Structures are given as C-alpha cells and as structure tokens.
A and B are shown apart, each in its own frame.
Chain A
Amino acid sequence: GNSVTQMEGPVTLSEEAFLTINCTYTATGYPSLFWYVQYPGEGLQLLLKATKADDKGSNKGFEATYRKETTSFHLEKGSVQVSDSAVYFCALPSNTGKLIFGQGTTLQVKP
C-alpha cells in the first residue's frame, strides 16, 4: 500500500535560515502529494499540494516539488520566521481516499 517516510525532528533553526524537510513516498500510481502544518493548539491545515509529477506546490514561501524519479516531495523555505514554528506532515491519499501521513517533523525557529 501507499506509505510516507518523513525525516525525524525536531529541527531547530535560527530566523532567516534555509529549511528542508525530507519526505519520500511509496505509492501505486501517481497520487497527489500534500504537506500539512499543525501550529501549536490548532488543527491540521493544508500548506501546499502537488497533483502530478514535476508539479511544484507553493504557499507562504514554502515550496515542494513532486519528484517521480526519486519518489520525493521535500519541503523547502528560503528564510524561515519564528511564526513558522509548527509540526509539518507529509501525506498522500490511499486509493480509497483516506490520507496517509508521515510521523511529522517539529520545526522550532529561534529569533
């Protein structure tokens, strides 16, 4: 079945540093790929998505490119802010529509 492997955290960065959170997947076919974010005390929010190979999803300065060759969907941001501190989840849908999540990566950005 479909699965997601996400780099373990926590990741601690200084403000304005470059961020990469790795995500690789195993899937039947070419499902859409997602990054969700969970800010402290809040529910999951969709951060960005890509629906087919070579698509780049972007939102709030974050980007991720759907790489079929490396089965990856790494999350990047050029300059993180304190307000980006949250837990980030990579996810993909199963063939029945439920979402399969990675274990999450906690990002802490220090001023």
Chain B
Amino acid sequence: DTGVSQDPRHKITKRGQNVTFRCDPISEHNRLYWYRQTLGQGPEFLTYFQNEAQLEKSRLLSDRFSAERPKGSFSTLEIQRTEQGDSAMYLCASSRGEGSSYNEQFFGPGTRLTVL
C-alpha cells in the first residue's frame, strides 16, 4: 500500500502526559499537512510542511504542540502536557505542490487520541 500511513491508530493517555504521532506521506509528495477533527466537526488545519520547512501554523497550535519533518519525508506531531480538550482525531495529508499551486491532498486514516 503506497498511501499515507499514520501511527498509532489509537492512543489513550492520561492528562499531563506527552504523546507523539507519526505520519508517513506518499513518497513523492513534498507537502505534508496536519489537521485535527473533533466529533461532529470538519477537519481543522494545524500546520503544513513543504519538504522540511514548516511554512504555516494555525493559531490552534498552542505552544504545547510541535511538529517536525526533519528530512522532508515522515513527520511527527508531539503534544506535551496533554489536556482533555486535546482528545480528537489527528489527520495527516500529503500532496505535491510548489508556490501557491494547489494539488489534491491524500489523507491518512488518522490517529484517534483520547485523554483521560
């Protein structure tokens, strides 16, 4: 399967713990996006990378959140000192793209985080 993969698929943690999620994009895609989806809502943009550069971050991304894409391939999203409000589905997507061009984004299955 050469689609976008995410790991883990499910994560249950206690409030105050740190968690890290991984996303592996489609190999030839240079753009990688993170979104968060809460129950009954559409996905909300968190951040995106073009190659290894983090080009945009949402105001939703508090200082407890950090994302990296060190070699321009896979990405990690870390949440420090988790809060119950962080419980959501975290989605990763990838696409080709240069400049302001838009290309179709392909989504992974998501990581469902539950903070107790």
Contact = CB atoms under 8 A, between A and B. Distances in A.
Given A97-B31, A97-B97, A98-B48, A46 B43 contact: no
Interface stretch (B11-19, B77-85, B98-106): B98-106
A46 B93 CA distance: 12
A97 B107 contact: no
A96 B109 contact: no
Given A43-B91, A43-B109, A45-B107, A97 B42 contact: no
B16 to A, nearest CB: 29
B40 A44 contact: no
Contact of B42 (A31, A45, A49, A102): A102
B17 to A, nearest CB: 25
A69 interface: no
Contacts of A94: 45
A32 B42 contact: no
Interface range, B side: 20 to 34
A73 interface: no
Nearest to B55: A96
Contact of B40 (A6, A45, A93, A103): A103
A42 B6 CA distance: 12
B102 A44 contact: no
Contacts of A103: 40-42
Given A43-B91, A46-B104, A93-B102, A99 B45 contact: yes
B102 A31 contact: yes
Interface in A47-98: 49, 89, 91, 93-98
6 contacts: A43-B91, A43-B110, A99-B105, A100-B45, A103-B40, A104-B42
Interface of B: 4, 31, 33, 35, 40-45, 48, 55-56, 91, 93, 95, 97, 100-102, 104-110
